[in-house]
Every structure is written in C-alpha cells, then in structure tokens.
C-alpha cells in the first residue's frame, strides 16, 4: 500500500513539474525526495553523477559552437539544401532538421530553420503543415541518434558497465541501431507528410482566409533567409572543430585499441566523451577567440542546464522509490516484461510524455529495468521509444511550428489530441522502434 501512495507522490511531482515547464521539472523531484525520505523513511538512492557530468561536457561544447557562430554555418548550409529542392520540402525538411540535431545534440536548433521551411513551402504553394509538423518531429527524433545528445550519452553511461552476449555495450553499438532506425522513421514521416491534408488550392478555409488582402500579405509576407549573411572564416573553423571532435569520438568508440588501458580495461567511452567535448570547446574558444561570457547566454546552454536539473531531480527521485521496492517491482513487472518485452518500450514512451524529455525518461526507466532483470538488448533495441512528448502539443518546438506557420494549417484541433503532430510522431517513432528491434536482432543482440 505504501508503494502506491509513494508512486502517486512521484506522479504528482512529474505532472505538476511538466505543467510548470522548464527547470521546474527537476526541482519538483526535490519535493518528491523530501517526502519519500522524511515522511516514508526510504533510504535515498544515488544521484546520477556520471550521467550529469557527461551532459555538462556535451552541453558546454555545443553551447560554445553556437556562441562561436559555427551553428550559423550549419543552418546556412541547411537552407541551401531546402531551397535547392523546394518541391520535395516535405521530405527534405525533416531530414534537414534531424541531421542538424544529430550533429548538434539538441533539437532546439529547429527554431531558426522553421521560418525558412515555412517560406519555402508557402512560396511553392505547398501546404505548410506538411513540412512544418514533420520538421518539428524530425528534430526531436534526431536526439536519440546523436553521438553528442544528452539522451545518448546518458544511455551509454547507464549501460557502460552492463554486459550482454558476453560483451560491453560499445558507443557505436547503440548508434548502429539508433541512426539507421531514426533515418528510416524520418523517411516514413516524410512520405506520409507529402500526401497529408488538402492542397492549398483545394482548401476552402485557407482560400477564404487569404481572400482578405491583409491576410494574403501576412501569409505570404517577406522572404525569410540566412543566405544573405556573409559568415566570417572563424565560424567555419568552429564548425569543423566540432565536427572533427564528433568524428574522433566515433573512431575511438569503434577502435578500442586507440584508447589507453588502465587496470586491464580500455578507457571508458563515458570519460572519452567528456574529455573530447571539453577539449573541443576549449579549442573553439582559443582558435576563434569566442567570448566565453557569451557561451552561457544562448539557447543550447540554457536548455542543456535544464536537462541536467531534470535528470538530477527525476532520476534521483525514481532511484529512491524503485530501489526501496525493487523486490516487489521485480515480482510484479519483471515477469511481464520478460514475457512481453515491448511493454518496456511502451512504459518508456509514456514516461517520456510525462517528463517531456528523452534523457529524463531514460534516466528514470533504464536503471529500474536493469534492476528487475530486463535484458539490456531490449533496452538498446527500444531506444527510439524514449520520444513520446509529441502526444500532446505542449513541447516548445511544436508550439513554435504552429506559431511560424502563418497560414494556420499547422494547428491544434478542437479536442487537443487531434493536432498536426500526433500522426507524424506515431508513424516516425513506431517505424524507428520496430526497425530498432530488427537491427538489434540482425546484430545478434537479441
């Protein structure tokens, strides 16, 4: 009985924290911890220190990239790709936003490119909802496929000491599943989006709206572009330093012999990622003369720090309650998940919606799954299911897509749940998750 009361406390904290948004999600974990420890006298679990340190290093490097202007170069290249293929924007746009996320480690890069995607669509008489919704979903799907995202480095840190099929999880083992499965999911949502909704010429509501001259001017407006900006050489240097670091991390993950050996074991990739990311940020600052004071002021740094606090509070709170009731959980849920492994993916998807964070969902669920005996191979195969916060249109990138679509085609329906993103999200995550299992089986993990 105590367990269910404590579980209600956690759910209230999660729901209220998600409703308040931002850093409140992690802070509410503090309330849950105090109640669990001082009221129910549960022994505090261990905070996820290793995961948090990896996040700090990755966020510091990514924020330095943005402060140096290296991110602007990536966005300008992305715009060229979009304007070169305007008829196929519904397919190209989600690939562009997904790849940007994979390279930068955060889906928040989508805000700058969304107005350009809208402009390309509306100027080519393409229903903006098609690429706009797909691009927002694609940006978030790219997180689990990024070698420098909080979610991926967190999962690698949590599974780094776990063995399955007689081997440790290598950094590239995870990416070998998440990258192709994610890209196939992106292709699926692009194909679906190409045909969704009415063409603008056949949309009576849209035609009625633009029949008013003021509305027509508002919808078609001025051209949004980054192509007229001449970016200095130091911006390009910053981008190449960051991309080279990602390549080095991938090589070190693939070729174990390149890592130094301590106590008979090669240096952990968790530590390698931390060192390389800090090294990358330092090189960018020194070579491009980036002002360090600007690093902590940008969106990448802000969102990264929010992720750290969220992982800190949520994971510590979850570790405390589930650690105290591990035997009961293993007896009730362990058998179910072992018989129906897909139940783990479903639980991960639901928790992700509650916490609005892929990293926080993984931090809350993965330790519990490992403790009750879930095969680590299932955890790796189900990684794409950590994205479920498209179910309700409350995430900032979704709201931004609605705001930037001046045509009104990207929208929230009368019943809230019937919005522009839900089918795209279900298709994308569904395809990615199924393919994740197929690849895990093909690689011999399952």
Q: CA 113, 298, 392: angle at the middle one, nearest 5?
A: 55
Helix (H) or strand (E) holding 387: none
Q: Residue 335: its pLDDT value, please?
A: 65
Per-residue pLDDT of the chain (446 residues; tens, 9 = 90+): 687 888 888 878 877 876 676 678 788 889 999 999 999 999 998 887 877 787 788 788 888 998 999 988 988 998 898 998 899 999 999 999 999 899 887 787 787 788 899 999 999 999 999 999 999 999 999 999 998 787 887 888 788 766 666 666 677 888 999 999 999 999 999 999 999 999 999 999 999 999 999 999 989 987 767 788 888 999 999 999 999 998 888 788 778 788 899 988 788 777 888 899 899 999 999 999 999 999 988 877 887 787 788 778 877 887 788 777 767 766 666 667 777 778 888 888 988 877 778 887 888 788 888 877 788 888 999 999 999 989 877 677 887 888 888 898 998 877 768 889 999 999 999 999 999 999 988 888 77
Q: Which residues contact 60 (CB under 8 A, 6 or more apart)?
A: 277, 278, 281, 295, 301, 304
pLDDT digits (tens, 9 = 90+) for 202-253: 999 999 999 999 999 989 987 767 788 888 999 999 999 999 998 888 788 7
pLDDT digits (tens, 9 = 90+) for 29-44: 899 999 999 999 999 9
pTM of the model: 0.78
Alpha carbon of 433 to those of 326, 368, 386, 401, 429: distances in Å? 27, 20, 10, 25, 6
Taking the C-alpha atoms of residue 394 and residue 433, their distance in angstroms, rounded to an integer, is 23
What letter would DSSP give residue 341? Answer: T
């Amino acid at each position: 009985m105590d367990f269910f009361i404590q579980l209600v406390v956690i759910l209230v904290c999660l729901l209220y924290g998600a409703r308040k948004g931002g850093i409140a999600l992690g802070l509410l974990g503090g309330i849950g911890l105090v109640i669990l420890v001082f009221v129910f006298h549960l022994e505090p679990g261990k905070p996820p220190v290793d995961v948090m340190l990896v996040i700090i290093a990755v966020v510091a490097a990514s924020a330095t990239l943005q402060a140096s202007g290296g991110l602007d170069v990536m966005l300008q290249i992305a715009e060229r790709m979009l304007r070169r293929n305007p008829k196929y924007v519904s397919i190209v746009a989600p690939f562009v936003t997904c790849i940007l996320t994979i390279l930068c480690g955060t889906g928040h890069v989508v805000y700058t490119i969304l107005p350009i995607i809208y402009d390309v669509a509306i100027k080519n008489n393409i229903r903006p909802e098609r690429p706009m919704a797909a691009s927002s979903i694609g940006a978030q799907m790219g997180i689990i496929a990024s070698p420098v995202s909080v979610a991926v480095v967190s999962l690698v840190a949590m599974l780094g000491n776990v063995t399955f099929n007689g081997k440790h999880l290598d950094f590239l083992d995870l990416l070998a599943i998440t990258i192709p499965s994610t890209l196939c999911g992106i292709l699926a949502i692009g194909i679906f989006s190409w045909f969704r909704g009415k063409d603008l010429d056949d949309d009576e509501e849209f035609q009625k709206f633009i029949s008013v001259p003021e509305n027509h001017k508002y919808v078609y407006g001025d051209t949004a572009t980054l192509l007229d900006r001449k970016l200095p050489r130091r911006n390009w240097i910053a981008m190449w330093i960051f991309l080279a670091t990602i390549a080095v991390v991938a090589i070190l993950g693939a070729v174990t012999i390149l890592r130094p050996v301590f106590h008979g074991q090669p240096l952990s990739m968790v530590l390698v990622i931390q060192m390389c990311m800090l090294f990358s940020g330092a090189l960018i600052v020194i070579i491009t003369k980036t002002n360090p004071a600007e690093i902590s002021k940008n969106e990448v740094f802000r969102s990264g720090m929010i992720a750290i606090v969220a992982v800190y509070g949520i994971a510590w709170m979850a570790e405390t309650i589930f650690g105290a009731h591990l035997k009961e959980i293993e007896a009730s849920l362990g058998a179910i998940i072992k018989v129906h492994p897909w139940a783990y993916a479903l639980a991960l998807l639901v928790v992700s919606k509650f916490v609005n964070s892929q990293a926080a969902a993984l931090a809350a669920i993965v330790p519990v799954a490992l403790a009750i005996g879930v095969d680590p191979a299932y955890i790796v195969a189900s990684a794409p299911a950590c994205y479920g916060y498209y179910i309700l249109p409350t995430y900032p990138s979704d709201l931004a897509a609605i705001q930037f679509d001046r045509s009104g085609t990207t929208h929230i329906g009368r019943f809230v749940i019937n919005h522009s993103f839900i089918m795209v999200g279900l298709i994308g995550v569904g395809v990615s998750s199924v393919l994740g299992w197929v690849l895990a089986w093909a690689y011999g993990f399952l």
